[in-house]
Amino acid sequence: MAGMPKNAVAIGVDIGGTSVKLGLVDSKGRILARETFQSGRSSGRETILAGLSACVGRLAAEARRRKLPLAGIGIGAPGPIDVERGIVYFFPNLPGWKNTPLKKILEKKLHMPVRLDNDANAMALGEFTFGAGKGVSDGLALTLGTGVGGGIVLGGKLFHGPAYSAAEIGHLVINEDGPRCGCGNNGCIETYVGNSYFAREVRRRLDAGEKSVLKKWLAEGKELSPYLTWQAAQKGDAFACRFWEETGAHLGTALAGLVNILNPSLIVLGGGIAQDKPRFLASVVRAIRRKAFPIAARSVKVVPAKLGTDAGIIGSAALVLV
At its nearest, how many Å lie between its own copies and the CB of residue 142? 12
Nearest to 65 by CA among 55, 54, 73, 57: 57
Binding-site size for its own copies (CB under 8 A) equals 48
- Identify the helix (H) or strand (E) that includes residue 35: strand 31-38
Distance between CA atoms of residues 252 and 237, nearest Å: 23
At its nearest, how many Å lie between its own copies and the CB of residue 299? 4
- Identify the helix (H) or strand (E) that includes residue 205: helix 195-207
Residue 87 in the binding site for its own copies (CB under 8 A): no
Q: Of residues 197-226, which lie at the interface with its own copies (CB under 8 A)?
A: none
Q: What is the DSSP letter of 306?
A: S
Residue 257 in the binding site for its own copies (CB under 8 A): yes
- Are the C-beta atoms of 305 and 315 separated by less than 8 Å? no
Judged by CB under 8 A, which of 250, 267, 302, 311 binds its own copies? 250
At its nearest, how many Å lie between its own copies and the CB of residue 39? 25
Strands (E), 198-293: 266-270
- Closest CB to its own copies among 44 and 161? 161
**Opening angle at CA 302, ends 298 and 303, nearest 5:** 145
- Closest CB to its own copies among 62 and 119? 119
Judged by CB under 8 A, which of 256, 267, 302, 321 binds its own copies? 256
Distance between CA atoms of residues 9 and 74, nearest Å: 11
**Opening angle at CA 4, ends 3 and 6, nearest 5:** 120
At its nearest, how many Å lie between its own copies and the CB of residue 282? 18
- Closest CB to its own copies among 68 and 292? 292
- Are the C-beta atoms of 151 and 125 separated by less than 8 Å? yes
Residue 291 in the binding site for its own copies (CB under 8 A): yes
Judged by CB under 8 A, which of 18, 261, 272, 308 binds its own copies? 261
Q: What is the per-residue binding string for its own copies in 61-80, x denoting contact by CB under 8 A? A: -------------------x
Upper half-sphere CA count for residue 267 (Cβ side, 13 Å): 29
Distance between CA atoms of residues 55 and 40, nearest Å: 17
22, 114, 164, 209 from 105: Cα distances, Å:
18, 10, 21, 56
Q: Of residues 144-203, which lie at the interface with its own copies (CB under 8 A)?
A: 152, 154, 159-169, 171-177, 183-185, 187-188
Only segment of 9-17, 37-45, 91-99, 250-258 that touches its own copies (CB under 8 A): 250-258
| Interacting residues with its own copies (CB under 8 A) | 80, 137-138, 152, 154, 159-169, 171-177, 183-185, 187-188, 250, 253-254, 256-258, 260-265, 290-293, 295-296, 298-299
